[in-house]
A and B are shown apart, each in its own frame.
Chain A
Amino acid sequence: MSNGKYKWIGTRVDRPDGADKVTGRARFGADFNLPGQLMGRVLRSPHAHAIIKSIDTSAAEKLPGVKAVMTAKDLPDQPNLIVPTGEMQVNMRDITRNILAREKALFEGHPVAAVAAVTDAIAKQAIDLIKVDYEVLPHVIDVTEAMKPDAPVLHDHLMTEGVKPPPTKASNIAKRMDNAKGDIEAGWKQAEVTIEREYTTQAVHQGYIEPHAALASAAEDGQLQIWSTTQGHFQVRGFCSRLLGVEVSQIRVTPTEIGGGFGGKTVVYLEPIAARLSQKSGKPVKMVMTREEVFRASGPAPGGTVKVKLGAKKDGTIVAAECEIALQAGAFPGSPLGPACWTSFACYDIPNIKVVGFDVVSNRAKVAAYRAPGAPISAWGVESTLDILAQELGMDPIELRLKNAAKKGTKTSYGPTFDTIGFVETLEAIKNSAHYKTKPKPGYARGVAAGFWFNVGADSSAAAHVAEDGTVTVISGNPDIGGSRASLALMAAEELGVDYSKVRPIIADTSSIGFNFVTGGSRVTFATGLAVVNSVRDMIRELKVRAAKTWGVDPEAVIWEDGMAKPAGSNVGEFEPLSLAQLAASAGKTGGPINGHAQLNAQGAGPGFGVHVVDLKVDHDTGCVHIDRYTAAQDVGTAIHPSYVEGQIQGGAVQGIGWALNEEYIYNAKGRLDNAGFLDYRMPVASDLPMIDALVVEVPNPHHPYGVRGVGEVPIVPPLAAVGNAVSRSMNIRMTDLPLSPPRLSAAIDAATPKIAAE
């Protein structure tokens, strides 16, 4: 797999945390306990939309064993201030209300009060004793409904942003977003074929297997320690500081091992509550969500509507593209609308583009990031429409995409011009794959789709320490959600020229390493990897100084090669190379400990492209889909650890398959979620799937020393349309609404078939 340029990069080493994770030793969120801890529980609104007239906690407070009860009154109110959370932005005024409802309960499951008690059973009993006087209001769940002028309005202060002139009446449309390129009207005039369709998707959950969990311990002097399963412990620290009014340096957050996040653990739910309950009670407080709470009250990804119009020449050249996207933000503004709009046509070099987006609130849990937030939704619309175009023109779907593929120098509709990218290479990889060259089995149909994600850089810090025996500790601050310890150690070993086994990667708490932005956006191997490489380079600089001192020469006369300090040339003098171990052993005499540090704001994240192809069969009697073969190609820049790169591609593809086929939030007439569990929220199980062939394409990112782009986000973008295109081709009916569940497919087949006379 490795291209021979590197010794360690591209090898499939065992991950450093492997033994811990296969023996049950690794400690995840709910595995942390402190002596004397209390258990916390949250009371949640049973109503989708209601005014909270009063909350009476007196009976709960009197229950023996209850040590603290809190409501929103126990947290200071917050200003109307936008802060970044990772891949999305949140408003502090909203987030404190999301954590504990103030004036109104805005979705079923919205936290209203919380208790800490000596046992979980007592905490649950206490929750039942809290009396809330609600005035139930009409609710709205669906985006299209929420946009109508007569829809129940969630926030009386919400005026649509981005509209001129600014509106004077509150609505559920939080924002309008526009981006464009060229002259769309001129584009339509050139078009010989025009395709226009409207698509919908439903809200889906990230579905991490580990529920949210937090343990907080507040001391009487104001110091606060938190253990949390999170993608960003520095974000937990920052949010808790603002939400509780505690100085940042007084808070120390330790990330536990994290049982999946996919973007959903970049925000805070339990941490500020556990912290405040701990402050109030003077005891550590542990809180763990149930699976039902995870579904009802932690952020799903939005559903939405996507209208797409494409205009092309008969030879397949796309001359105009237009897209209108409306996304569910949940109860508070802030859907991943920007990325949904910007990614929509990013795969293609189209002269005239117009994209309009709407961010819409409704009585659902506030959405959170989910793997390439927003992009799968717009890609569902765009890639489905491209498939119709390919059918209309009688073109192979890969050829159509090749004809219009974005390349180095293509200007995007949202601003940047692409540097070196690998979309064409990725399309070629599929075109030349054994899968694509073989016809689908009889009865099976094939679907193709592409996807794009920017990939992210941002802030990272890292340190490297040489121990007295010459082994190395690499310290960074991003929770390892899928093997990043291994990739960071591989890059450090490569840089240092030592064996991988000599490098121990550690993830430090917020007080033990400088700031790190969240694990998300496919940034860790790129940005934190860059920080690790720089910290090792800093350490090597010091190692060279120490060798120079030992030899009595200038540091410039020393080079670092194969894990050893060597004289730069014969003119420096005859010196035996000094190994890392030798330099470490003599460090006391040459200036003390040898460490390296780096901090940076990583620029130049390399955009990633993926192309997926699937063969599947629709059972025309039942609407059930059987997937026979699936291949996913992706430009990853450089695969640092190919197994984990493949794993990201396979896992993302399967999440996308679930999104396409069966996953959806189902609400009843009262606006309550009807499928808040793994039984009826149907994520793919092992028997639903074939092997997922991952084709790793490597077009190195010029802005990273090892060419890293980032991998994790792209693979969830193409599957919705890849599956949808195959289903539509199989049924010979264009499907535009997700999920493609058996009842929906069956109904579409029946609607297109003349009724049987007997019926």
Chain B
Amino acid sequence: MNDVRYSAPSTLDEASKAMLAANGTGWILAGGTDLLVQMRSGMRKPGVIVDIKKIDEMMTVQDLGGGSYRIGAAVSGAVLGEHKALKKAWPGVIEAINLIGSKQVQGRASAGGNLCNASPAADSGPALVAAGAILAIHGPNGRREIPVEKLHSGPGRTTLAPGEILVSFTLPARPKGSSDAYLRLIPRTEMDIAVVGVGVNLTISGGKCTAARVGLGAVAPTVLLVEDAGKALVGSSLDDAAIEKAAAACRAACKPINDKRGTIEYRTKIAGVLLKRSTAIAIERAKGN
């Protein structure tokens, strides 16, 4: 084992500096549920581990009003799952985050870590893409914001520059009649990586869908925003034909691979199936809001 240093700074500037100084050997430690596994397998050999859980902003959930929340990137899934108001406002986002691993993993794993690990199958991805989450990034040159779908550049790769740290993600305010849902397909009922994951976020007003976003995971090198699926739903009365059109858009957007978790044909088919099912849940929820 190489000489590894551990630091737990209390400010973002310190953390950013530590990462920059590590010159490519620094790794951020949030929940550690990916990093420790990768270290153990020899896939990652950090020189410096920067534990960002002592930084207040990364660990807090802030209610911005109107259903909008700013969520610290390192807040664990278990804490988010216990946040009743947040869960009520964004059920799809929270159910996606709560599907990451077991109860034990939930006690540590964060949405920020799940995003930055940049697996195309990450459960938080499709739900946050559907939600239209905005990421706040802190770096040597200050702060910037990007939509969540701009974070990933490929499997295991992000657009974060050296020294940049994902600080929080903001879920936008939504009009009345909005809700969201996330479904994934796994062979077991728990403890699996998504074969396909679909997040749907929509707004219904006067019996018509006035806004819709669809996020799709595990079917391409990065999590996808399927704009055509959203377009298929907007303006419709969310009838079967519109939903089938959105499902077809999801299938068309798939660029999957054959691997140990599923085949190209299977993933493509399931993308459509899950779009229909998650849309049905989102509609049911939106009607109650």
Interface on A for B, CB 8 Å cutoff? 121, 124-125, 292, 621-624, 661-662, 666, 674-675, 678-680, 682, 684-685, 687-688, 741-743, 746-747, 750, 758-759
Q: In this complex, what residue of A is CB-closest to B196?
A: A622
The residues of B that contact A758 with a CB separation of less than 8 Å are: 244, 248
Within 8 A of A (CB), among B190-218: 190-193, 195
Cβ-defined contact, A688 with B270, below 8 A: no
Q: Which of A125, A679, A687 contacts B189 (CB 8 A)?
A: A687
* A662-B187, A666-B260, A685-B191 as given contacts; A750 in contact with B269, CB under 8 Å: yes
Interface on B for A, CB 8 Å cutoff? 1, 41, 185, 187-193, 195, 244, 248, 251, 259-263, 265-266, 269-270, 273
Cβ-defined contact, B185 with A742, below 8 A: yes
A193–B185 CA distance with the chains assembled, in angstroms? 42
Q: Which of B192, B265, B270 contacts A679 (CB 8 A)?
A: B192
Cβ-defined contact, A742 with B269, below 8 A: no
Q: In this complex, what residue of A is CB-closest to B265?
A: A747
Q: Which of B1, B187, B193, B261 contacts A624 (CB 8 A)?
A: B187
The residues of A that contact B266 with a CB separation of less than 8 Å are: 623, 742-743, 746-747
Q: Tell which of A124, A622, A674, A675 has the most Cβ of chain B within 10 Å.
A: A622
Cβ-defined contact, A747 with B263, below 8 A: yes
Cβ-defined contact, A743 with B263, below 8 A: yes
The residues of A that contact B244 with a CB separation of less than 8 Å are: 758
Cβ-defined contact, A675 with B270, below 8 A: no
Cβ-defined contact, B188 with A688, below 8 A: yes
Given contacts A622-B270, A682-B192, A685-B190, 4 further A-B contacts (CB under 8 A): A687-B188, A742-B266, A746-B266, A750-B265
User: Which 8 pairs from chain A and chain B are nearest by CB?
Assistant: A743-B266, A121-B1, A687-B189, A666-B260, A621-B273, A674-B260, A687-B190, A662-B187
Q: Tell which of B41, B187, B261, B263 has the most Cβ of chain A within 10 Å.
A: B187
Cβ-defined contact, A680 with B260, below 8 A: yes
The residues of A that contact B1 with a CB separation of less than 8 Å are: 121, 124-125
A130–B263 CA distance with the chains assembled, in angstroms? 38
The residues of A that contact B263 with a CB separation of less than 8 Å are: 743, 747
Cβ-defined contact, A741 with B248, below 8 A: no
Cβ-defined contact, B185 with A624, below 8 A: yes
Please name 29 pairs of A and B residues whose Cβ atoms are closer than 8 Å in the assembled complex, sorted by A. A292-B41, A621-B273, A622-B185, A622-B273, A623-B266, A624-B187, A661-B187, A662-B187, A662-B188, A674-B259, A675-B260, A678-B191, A680-B193, A680-B260, A682-B188, A682-B192, A685-B188, A685-B191, A687-B189, A688-B188, A688-B189, A742-B185, A742-B187, A743-B195, A746-B266, A747-B263, A747-B265, A758-B248, A759-B251
Q: In this complex, what residue of B is CB-closest to A125?
A: B1
The residues of B that contact A121 with a CB separation of less than 8 Å are: 1
A678–B185 CA distance with the chains assembled, in angstroms? 18
The residues of A that contact B261 with a CB separation of less than 8 Å are: 680
A758–B259 CA distance with the chains assembled, in angstroms? 27
Q: In this complex, what residue of B is CB-closest to A668?
A: B260
Q: Tell which of B1, B260, B262, B273 has the most Cβ of chain A within 10 Å.
A: B260
A758–B244 CA distance with the chains assembled, in angstroms? 10
Q: In this complex, what residue of B is CB-closest to A675?
A: B260
Q: In this complex, what residue of B is CB-closest to A120?
A: B1
A284–B193 CA distance with the chains assembled, in angstroms? 41
The residues of B that contact A124 with a CB separation of less than 8 Å are: 1
A687–B263 CA distance with the chains assembled, in angstroms? 25
Question: How far apart are B181's CB and chain A's nearest CB, in angstroms?
Answer: 16
Question: How far apart are B212's CB and chain A's nearest CB, in angstroms?
Answer: 20
Question: How far apart are B192's CB and chain A's nearest CB, in angstroms?
Answer: 7
The residues of A that contact B262 with a CB separation of less than 8 Å are: 743
Question: How far apart are B239's CB and chain A's nearest CB, in angstroms?
Answer: 15
The residues of B that contact A741 with a CB separation of less than 8 Å are: 187
Cβ-defined contact, A685 with B189, below 8 A: yes
Cβ-defined contact, A684 with B188, below 8 A: yes
The residues of A that contact B195 with a CB separation of less than 8 Å are: 742-743
Q: In this complex, what residue of A is CB-closest to B191?
A: A685
A682–B190 CA distance with the chains assembled, in angstroms? 10
The residues of B that contact A746 with a CB separation of less than 8 Å are: 266, 269-270
Q: In this complex, what residue of B is CB-closest to A684?
A: B188
The residues of A that contact B273 with a CB separation of less than 8 Å are: 621-622
Q: In this complex, what residue of B is CB-closest to A119?
A: B1
Q: In this complex, what residue of A is CB-closest to B245?
A: A758
The residues of B that contact A682 with a CB separation of less than 8 Å are: 187-188, 192
